[in-house]
Chains A and B, each alone.
Chain A
Amino acid sequence: MTPMEWIALAEQGFELFMKIRNSAKSAGVTDEQLDAITLDYDQRIARRQADADVRGSADH
């Protein structure tokens, strides 16, 4: 990757990061919002764990 391509990519990444950060900025993050995030993590972990275990179960 050329330096110019890397810079263009980093800019795209930074724009996405700023979008995310701006959406996260608020008067304050409540316990309820953190609980909702934990719940989302649980669902994602379960989905990924199932995919990560595919090879393990096939090997046995």
Chain B
Amino acid sequence: MRTRRSLAPILAALFLFAACATTQVQKARIVSVDVHAVLAAVDDAEMTLCNKQADNTCKSSVPAWTTEKHVEFSKHLVVALKAGRALNEGVKAVPITGQTKADLTAVSAELEAVTGLVKDILPPNSTVVIALTAAKDAVLRLLPLFLEGA
């Protein structure tokens, strides 16, 4: 009876630890799903804007959005997508490492870089600008959540 009593707080602590760990892992996984969704939205929006032709050039409805701009945009988005992929793989592991946190920061940095590219070229109501605004907003909101969960 005494043994059972002395084990109770330890078992309770273990259950609590397991529950917290599960919550943190699930939170981090939802962050990864969100990051993927916003990056995919930005990716699809710019691809639509480019309106790529058979010769790999863009024929955009916005004349200033040239093939060169698309290439520059793609260079940054490749880095963002790779960071998003690494983050997605990182949240499978427990505990989540500092590298995974760095991956989310890298996504944020590349979103800033592509925002610089579209600035003064695309109108504010462009799907790409709206998707980028949503993506940056999402990452800003997710970063603190992710840090709590990591």
Residues of A within 8 A of B (CB): 1, 5, 9-10, 12-14, 16-17, 20-21, 23-25, 28-29, 31, 33-34, 37-38, 40-42, 44-45, 47-49, 51-52, 54-55
Question: Nearest-CB distance from A10 to chain B (Å)?
Answer: 6
Residues of B within 8 A of A (CB): 26, 29-30, 32-34, 36-41, 43, 47, 52, 56, 67-68, 70-71, 74-75, 77-78, 81-82, 84-85, 88-89, 91-92, 124-125, 129-131, 133-134, 137-138, 141
Question: Nearest-CB distance from A8 to chain B (Å)?
Answer: 8
- A20/B134 in contact, CB under 8 A: yes
The 7 closest A-B pairs by CB, nearest first: A13-B133, A29-B29, A41-B85, A13-B134, A52-B74, A51-B74, A24-B33
Chain B residues with CB below 8 A from A33, complex form = 33
Given the complex of chains A and B, what is the CA–CA distance between A28 and B25 in angstroms?
A: 10
- A29/B68 in contact, CB under 8 A: no
